Amino acid sequence: MATYLELHELHSDADLRARVEVAVVDVADGIIDEIDTTPNHTNRLLWSKEALYNAKLVADRMYPAVLVSSKSKTVAEIQALTDANIRNKIGRLIDLFATGPGV
Which class for 58: exposed (0-12), middle (13-18), buried (19 or more C-beta within 10 A)? buried
Q: Is the pLDDT of residue 75 over 90?
A: yes
Instruction: Kindly state whether residue 102 falls inside one of the protein's structural domains.
Output: no
Instruction: Kindly state whether residue 78 falls inside one of the protein's structural domains.
Output: yes
Q: Is the pLDDT of residue 103 over 60?
A: no
Which class for 13: exposed (0-12), middle (13-18), buried (19 or more C-beta within 10 A)? middle
Q: Predicted confidence band at 46 (pLDDT cuts at 50, 70, 90)?
A: very high
Give the angle 51-20-101 at the CA atoms, nearest 5°: 25
Instruction: Kindly state whether residue 103 falls inside one of the protein's structural domains.
Output: no
pTM (2 d.p.): 0.92
Instruction: Kindly state whether residue 35 falls inside one of the protein's structural domains.
Output: yes
pLDDT, position 102? 56
Considering the chain, what is the average pLDDT of its residues? 95
Instruction: Kindly state whether residue 91 falls inside one of the protein's structural domains.
Output: yes
Task: Report the interhelical angle of 14-32 vs 41-53 (nearest 10°).
Answer: 130
Count of domains for the chain: 1
Instruction: Kindly state whether residue 61 falls inside one of the protein's structural domains.
Output: yes
Domain residues for 86? 4-97
